């Protein structure tokens, strides 16, 4: 994967790829370049067998502040813009790529995660937050509805009533509160955030990666389907998982009373 992006920092530690959104002067607000680069990096990570877990995070004092409103205003004042739904397709490409990524994607959130940056975090498989995190469904503050998948993921994570509250009032949710309501998987003190993220990601990167992809497929589909369809899919996916080297290794490790060494195959 190329690493010479204008607004992304890319680093790989063993099988963990960290993608850092890097426009700290605007709290990592999305302009078109950063959005295009993030799409490219995520799609490249999906194809790269040396990557078994992806961490998305932000440089400077936050995760992200949503769409770059200054860039948006500048475009609006100078050119005839198309419908915003056309622009949103670039975000939808990103959300789809994360959901169909056959390996775990973690959002590591410190500081602010507002607007579509917040919803990018919600589209990831899991979220780890620092205790200084500030999640803001900021859309209603500027008269917009939650986009970037927020209308889909938010009620599924925190329940219908809480989702409506967060979307309508657009109040900040702190890291500890986000953990309490299920918006993030865990919240840690800021001083431990980097090491906790690393430990979390390395653990996932050493798991049965192929099976993790199947688990994602099962969970993705369960959000839409009835019990019978989910049970049918579970059987189909288990047939695949049953044939993986990691399944054989897991059983062998159990029988030999030793930790499993998963290779992702």
Interacting residue ranges for ligand T3D, rule: CB under 6 A:
26-27, 29, 65-70, 72, 84, 87-88, 112, 114-116, 136, 138-139, 141-142, 144, 147
We find the least distance from the C-beta atom of residue 24 to ligand T3D, in angstroms, to be 9
We find the least distance from the C-beta atom of residue 140 to ligand T3D, in angstroms, to be 10
We find the least distance from the C-beta atom of residue 241 to ligand T3D, in angstroms, to be 38
| Gap between the Cα atoms of 213 and 211, Å rounded | 5
We find the least distance from the C-beta atom of residue 60 to ligand T3D, in angstroms, to be 10
We find the least distance from the C-beta atom of residue 33 to ligand T3D, in angstroms, to be 14
Of the pair 11, 81, the CB lying nearest ligand T3D is at: 81
Measured between alpha carbons, how far is residue 48 from residues 17, 42, 54, 207 in Å? Answer: 10, 10, 11, 16
Of the pair 8, 45, the CB lying nearest ligand T3D is at: 8
Of the pair 138, 183, the CB lying nearest ligand T3D is at: 138
Strands in 8-13's sheet, in edge-to-edge order, are 8-13, 16-21, 53-58, 105-109, 126-130, 186-188
Of the pair 64, 213, the CB lying nearest ligand T3D is at: 64
* CA 264 from centroid of its chain's CA atoms: 20
We find the least distance from the C-beta atom of residue 31 to ligand T3D, in angstroms, to be 9
We find the least distance from the C-beta atom of residue 171 to ligand T3D, in angstroms, to be 11
Q: Is the Cβ–Cβ distance between 150 and 167 less than 8 Å? A: yes
Per DSSP (E only), the strands in 69-133 are: 105-109, 112-114, 126-130
Phi and psi angles of residue 21, each rounded to the nearest 5 degrees, phi first: -70, 130
Of the pair 18, 65, the CB lying nearest ligand T3D is at: 65
Of the pair 114, 158, the CB lying nearest ligand T3D is at: 114
| Gap between the Cα atoms of 147 and 151, Å rounded | 7
Strands in 62-64's sheet, in edge-to-edge order, are 62-64, 112-114, 134-136, 172-174
Of the pair 56, 114, the CB lying nearest ligand T3D is at: 114
User: Any idea of the CA torsion for 6, 55, 45, 123, to the nearest 10 degrees?
Assistant: -100
| β-pair type (16-21, 8-13) | antiparallel
């Amino acid at each position: 994967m190329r690493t010479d992006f204008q607004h992304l920092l890319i680093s790989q530690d063993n099988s963990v790829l960290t993608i850092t959104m890097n426009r700290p002067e605007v709290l990592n607000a999305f302009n078109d370049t950063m959005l295009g680069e993030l799409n490219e990096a995520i799609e490249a990570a999906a194809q790269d067998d040396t990557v078994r877990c992806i961490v998305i995070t932000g440089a400077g004092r936050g995760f992200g502040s949503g769409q770059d409103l200054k860039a948006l205003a500048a475009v609006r004042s100078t050119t005839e813009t198309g419908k915003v739904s056309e622009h949103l397709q670039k975000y939808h490409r990103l959300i789809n790529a994360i959901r169909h990524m056959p390996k775990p994607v973690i959002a590591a959130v410190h500081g602010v995660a507002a607007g579509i940056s917040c919803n990018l975090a919600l589209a990831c498989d899991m979220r780890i937050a620092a205790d200084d995190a500030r999640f803001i469904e900021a859309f209603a503050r500027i008269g917009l509805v939650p986009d970037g998948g927020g209308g889909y993921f938010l009620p599924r994570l925190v329940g219908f009533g809480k989702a409506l509250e967060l979307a309508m009032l657009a109040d900040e949710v702190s890291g500890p509160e986000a953990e309490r309501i299920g918006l993030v998987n865990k919240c840690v003190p800021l001083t431990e955030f980097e090491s906790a993220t690393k430990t979390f990601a390395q653990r996932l990167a050493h798991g049965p990666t192929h099976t993790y992809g199947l688990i994602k497929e099962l969970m993705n589909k369960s959000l839409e389907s009835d019990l019978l369809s989910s049970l049918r899919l579970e059987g189909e996916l288990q047939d695949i998982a049953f044939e993986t080297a990691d399944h054989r290794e897991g059983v062998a490790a159990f029988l030999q009373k030793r930790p499993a060494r998963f290779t992702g195959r």
